Chain A
Amino acid sequence: MTYLKKMFVSNMSVMSAFCAITISLMLAILLLWFSGAPPIETGKLLLEGSLGNATRLSDTSMVWVPLALASASLIITFAAGLWNIGVEGQIIVGAIFASFVAREFDAPAPLLWGAMIMAGALGGMFWGGLTGLLRIKGKVNEIFGGLGLTFVATGIVIYLVIGPWKRAGIASTSGTAPFDSKAWFPTIMDLRVSPLAILLALAGLWLVYYLLKQSKFGLQLRATGINAIAASRLGVRTERNLMLAFLLGGVLAGIAGTVQVGAMHHKLVPSISGGYGYLAILVVLLGNYKSFRSGLISFFFAMIAVGSIQWQLRLDLHSSLGGVTQGILVLVVLVVMAIFTQYQRNQRI
């Protein structure tokens, strides 16, 4: 009995994740049932719709890329104890900077892609840095600073699209004129999937994983996130670390923005960030602030986003049910994890 108990307690995180996913899937199925959808059919459609053929798989992976990058960005800032809600705005500014390079510069294609990625990273870093400055020097909570700056970024992108960067002759919110095809990230055949974008997302996730696990900077960041006063007493330069976290988070978000313009839309559109900055918050909460898990969950979320389109087409369900499913998943997982943590704490006492 005690052995069983020990097993149970030691495998707590696995157990809790398992329970949470089972419960939330059951709830999701119930919900779909009540909205008049046959559960097995909806599940099948989701899988087919997101992974069923090369086109769909490639679409899913291109939703995955910005979501994974935004999640990586959030993991870094969460480690420092920051609620960097402004990732959405950093994606937008990254996209603007990358678009600027794509529109204004002419160079051999690979150089142009490189320059776009650099510019996007710089843009995101700039916007993340502003949030950081507001937080560190101005004592403005990063949630408010980030939200405010996201509004500003949204304003700027709309201004650019219907103003200075409008299509010749018409100003439309459907976006700027498409970039010169040299600025389009290369794809596999005529699918949407861009190996370069996938590579960037994998690199982003790996970088975050490596920094937090192996680097002094990552450890200092975690220490700062838990208790900045004690960390400072132990010799950590906490303000510098917080700033670096904002900057690095911005770089990753900015690259997500670059991928959105360079590999997805090939132009700047007002909704360029696609809500990935916000969705990534759910991903990271669900992934328990871990890179690898968040990468997987990002993919799962991408599957729901792409696959649930089929619900609308084939079952006449509203596509927002995909979002509802994601929401239920996150809520249930958080509740179950809280219960397990509480249980674990009681065990210790």
Chain B
Amino acid sequence: MTLEIDKISKHFGNVYANNNVSLSIDSGEIHGLLGENGAGKSTLVKILSGFFEKEAGEIRLDGQLLDLSSPKDSINCGIGILHQEPMVFLPFSVLDNFLIGSTDQFLAPRKQALKQLQEICNKFDFELDPDAPVSLLTIGQRQQLEIARLLWLDPKVLIFDEPTNAISPVQREKLFTTIRQLAADGMLVIFVSHKLDEIAAICDSVTVLRKGEVAGSKELPCPESELIALMFGKLFPSKEIETPQKGGIQLTVSNLKSIEDRESIEVANFEIRQSEIVGIAGIEGAGQRTFLRAIAGRNSPESGTIISGRNLLDGTNYHQRLEKGLYYMPADRLGEGLISELTITEHIALVENKKRNQIIDWEMSYLRATELISHFQIQGTPESKAESLSGGNQQRLMFALMPTDADTILLEHPTRGLDIESADWIWNQLLDMRSDDCSIIFSSSDFEELLSYSDKIIVCFAGRIVGEFEKSEFNPAHIASLMSGSQI
């Protein structure tokens, strides 16, 4: 049996989430779908599960065209999906959960279901008590229940969507055993992940997505640095950027140790000069986010010292650092960057003339918004709400809101999900700021961006900085191998 995904496209705004995505998978094979956040994995999974409707392309199973316009269609076509968080109904028992969605009969065939559940449990060595309430199960067990439930629907394709995010290493091993067993029985398995080591551990072959497109496919095993190269794109800079004369030390970090959302970072020593741009390379979760947020004061480090200019930042909070000239721009533009339901004018009024006036001069804010909209080339009006702007324009608005005295700018994925024009515009802004003696630290999942704009690249892996390169020493292959954790 073969699943063919043929030239699937889907776009949001002016950005393609999936652009001509094609892949073909045979049954009995475990096929990995690898890519950073925003690469288009979730969109593809949602199209396969009937949550999103594709705009172009075809999906065929054994040559037969599938019409997936609702989740029910997808189930009927034999596609089963194990979601990131197991979708279980907590107060119900294991058996009740097993029955949900499995039957259209008015009276649930409990006896038959019980028998089936026990058979599946025996076969895969699951430990599930049919009468236990699901709320008492571990996440790993809930996953097993979900797998059992999916299997009862007799699927031909099983998709595991980032299944290891919430489970322990032991449970992970158990899950992998189950997946291998399923594939050995002839199931067609798709394993979606942004974690390189897992893909390498379990998949027979892998397709790498990048910016909504298929970056390439590989038979496994293959060197992990090759996969990183596919995930992070072109291994050479696209632009020659002139490096101005660097100034004195702007920011020093020493012996920093911090953890946030299970992502940790330890940095013995890091410094950045005025007019310097430092890029942080690393696969998602390697610690770059926690590092940037620790400098910005968005999390509280366990230990360490951060000095900005002449100011010791230890013990100061985010707002004090903001006043000292540090500006942090998160990747999640509507989650943490802007207030979705406020207009551009309201955003301006919110950040303008901080202390002076407690009464807002709306007319002035409106004029200021008009000025900034034309200066930052935002497609929108002073009355546009942040949520109505496209990603690129949201990013421009975040630049417009930056205090003019900011001298250290911390950015997460400054151009992720943006069209080329917006991305170029943003880097022109950043380069201008650098000419005005700003220091810039950014994380990115794009080699081209890292290699083009950085004066220095540091590489994060598993919560540590494992490499540091000046522009003259950039060696993309070396950087890629450090990112994968292998030593050269």
* A216 with B336, Cβ < 8 A, contacts A223-B350, A234-B350, A234-B351 known: no
User: When each residue 342-380 of chain B gets 1 if its CB lies under 8 Å from chain A and 0 otherwise, what string results?
Assistant: 100011011100100111101000000000000000000
Q: Is B392 in contact with chain A by the CB < 8 A criterion? A: no
Q: Is A232 in contact with chain B by the CB < 8 A criterion? A: yes
Q: Is A318 in contact with chain B by the CB < 8 A criterion? A: no
User: When each residue 328-343 of chain B gets 1 if its CB lies under 8 Å from chain A and 0 otherwise, what string results?
Assistant: 1010001111111110
> Which residues of A lie under 8 Å from residue B349 when comparing CB positions?
216, 219
Q: Is A236 in contact with chain B by the CB < 8 A criterion? A: yes
Q: Is B153 in contact with chain A by the CB < 8 A criterion? A: no
For the complex, give the distance between the alpha carbons of A111 and B337 in Å: 50
For the complex, give the distance between the alpha carbons of A212 and B173 in Å: 55
> Which residues of A lie under 8 Å from residue B351 when comparing CB positions?
234-235
Which of B334, B354, B357, B362 is A235 in contact with, Cβ under 8 Å? Answer: B354
> Which residues of A lie under 8 Å from residue B200 when comparing CB positions?
none
* A230 with B339, Cβ < 8 A, contacts A215-B359, A219-B350, A219-B360 known: yes
A235 touches B336 (CB 8 A): no
B25 to chain A, nearest CB (A): 33
> Which residues of B lie under 8 Å from residue A226 when comparing CB positions?
339-342
B318 touches A231 (CB 8 A): no
For the complex, give the distance between the alpha carbons of A222 and B360 in Å: 14
A230 touches B336 (CB 8 A): yes
Q: Is B319 in contact with chain A by the CB < 8 A criterion? A: yes
B360 touches A214 (CB 8 A): yes
B414 to chain A, nearest CB (A): 16
CB contacts between A and B, total, < 8 Å: 63
Q: Is A237 in contact with chain B by the CB < 8 A criterion? A: yes
Q: Is B77 in contact with chain A by the CB < 8 A criterion? A: no
Which of A216, A223, A229, A236 is B357 in contact with, Cβ under 8 Å? Answer: A216
Q: Is A73 in contact with chain B by the CB < 8 A criterion? A: no
> Which residues of A lie under 8 Å from residue B401 when comparing CB positions?
234
> Which residues of A lie under 8 Å from residue B360 when comparing CB positions?
214-216, 219
Tell me the chain A residues, 225-245 only, with Cβ under 8 Å from chain B. 226-227, 229-237
Most buried by A among B339, B346, B347, B351: B339
Residue ID in chain B nearest A231 by CB atoms: B339
A214 touches B359 (CB 8 A): yes
For the complex, give the distance between the alpha carbons of A231 and B342 in Å: 11
> Which residues of A lie under 8 Å from residue B330 when comparing CB positions?
233
Q: Is A50 in contact with chain B by the CB < 8 A criterion? A: no
For the complex, give the distance between the alpha carbons of A96 and B287 in Å: 55
Q: Is B322 in contact with chain A by the CB < 8 A criterion? A: yes
For the complex, give the distance between the alpha carbons of A319 and B337 in Å: 52
* A223 with B358, Cβ < 8 A, contacts A230-B335, A234-B350 known: no
Tell me the chain A residues, 45-89 only, with Cβ under 8 Å from chain B. none
For the complex, give the distance between the alpha carbons of A226 and B387 in Å: 12
> Which residues of B lie under 8 Å from residue A216 when comparing CB positions?
349-350, 357-360
Q: Is A220 in contact with chain B by the CB < 8 A criterion? A: yes
B292 to chain A, nearest CB (A): 13
Which of B328, B339, B346 is A227 in contact with, Cβ under 8 Å? Answer: B339
Number of interface residues of B (CB under 8 A): 27
For the complex, give the distance between the alpha carbons of A215 and B350 in Å: 10
Q: Is A100 in contact with chain B by the CB < 8 A criterion? A: no
B296 to chain A, nearest CB (A): 9
User: When each residue 231-268 of chain A gets 1 if its CB lies under 8 Å from chain B and 0 otherwise, what string results?
Assistant: 11111110000000000000000000000000000000
B281 to chain A, nearest CB (A): 25
B425 to chain A, nearest CB (A): 22
B55 to chain A, nearest CB (A): 15
> Which residues of B lie under 8 Å from residue A234 when comparing CB positions?
338-339, 347, 350-351, 401
A268 to chain B, nearest CB (A): 37
For the complex, give the distance between the alpha carbons of A232 and B339 in Å: 10
For the complex, give the distance between the alpha carbons of A216 and B348 in Å: 11
A237 touches B359 (CB 8 A): no
A227 touches B347 (CB 8 A): no
Q: Is A165 in contact with chain B by the CB < 8 A criterion? A: no
For the complex, give the distance between the alpha carbons of A234 and B342 in Å: 13
For the complex, give the distance between the alpha carbons of A226 and B349 in Å: 16
Q: Is A278 in contact with chain B by the CB < 8 A criterion? A: no
Q: Is A217 in contact with chain B by the CB < 8 A criterion? A: yes
* A230 with B338, Cβ < 8 A, contacts A216-B357, A223-B350 known: yes
For the complex, give the distance between the alpha carbons of A99 and B341 in Å: 43
> Which residues of A lie under 8 Å from residue B347 when comparing CB positions?
234
> Which residues of B lie under 8 Å from residue A220 when comparing CB positions?
350
For the complex, give the distance between the alpha carbons of A178 and B319 in Å: 53
Tell me the chain A residues, 190-234 only, with Cβ under 8 Å from chain B. 214-217, 219-220, 222-223, 226-227, 229-234
For the complex, give the distance between the alpha carbons of A219 and B334 in Å: 18
Most buried by A among B318, B346, B358: B358
For the complex, give the distance between the alpha carbons of A237 and B346 in Å: 17
Residue ID in chain A nearest B342 by CB atoms: A223
B322 touches A235 (CB 8 A): yes
B352 to chain A, nearest CB (A): 9
Residue ID in chain B nearest A227 by CB atoms: B339
For the complex, give the distance between the alpha carbons of A220 and B340 in Å: 14
A217 touches B338 (CB 8 A): no
For the complex, give the distance between the alpha carbons of A215 and B337 in Å: 22
B358 touches A215 (CB 8 A): yes
For the complex, give the distance between the alpha carbons of A236 and B339 in Å: 12
For the complex, give the distance between the alpha carbons of A234 and B401 in Å: 8
A233 touches B350 (CB 8 A): no
For the complex, give the distance between the alpha carbons of A234 and B351 in Å: 7
Residue ID in chain B nearest A217 by CB atoms: B358
Residue ID in chain B nearest A218 by CB atoms: B360
B337 touches A232 (CB 8 A): no
A235 touches B339 (CB 8 A): no
> Which residues of B lie under 8 Å from residue A237 when comparing CB positions?
319
> Which residues of B lie under 8 Å from residue A230 when comparing CB positions?
334-339
For the complex, give the distance between the alpha carbons of A308 and B339 in Å: 44
Tell me the chain A residues, 84-137 only, with Cβ under 8 Å from chain B. none
A233 touches B342 (CB 8 A): no
For the complex, give the distance between the alpha carbons of A229 and B351 in Å: 15
Most buried by A among B318, B335, B336: B336
Tell me the chain B residues, 302-338 only, with Cβ under 8 Å from chain A. 318-319, 322, 328, 330, 334-338
Give 9 CB contacts A-B under 8 Å: A216-B357, A222-B342, A226-B342, A227-B336, A230-B336, A233-B337, A234-B339, A234-B347, A237-B319
Interface contacts beyond A227-B339, A230-B337, A234-B339: sample of 7 additional A-B pairs, CB < 8 Å, sorted by A: A216-B350, A226-B339, A226-B340, A227-B340, A229-B336, A230-B338, A232-B319
Q: Top 10 A-B pairs ranked by shortest CB distance?
A: A223-B339, A216-B358, A226-B341, A229-B336, A226-B339, A227-B339, A230-B336, A230-B339, A233-B336, A214-B359
User: B: which residues have CB within 8 A of A?
Assistant: 298, 318-319, 322, 328, 330, 334-342, 346-347, 349-351, 354, 357-360, 362, 401
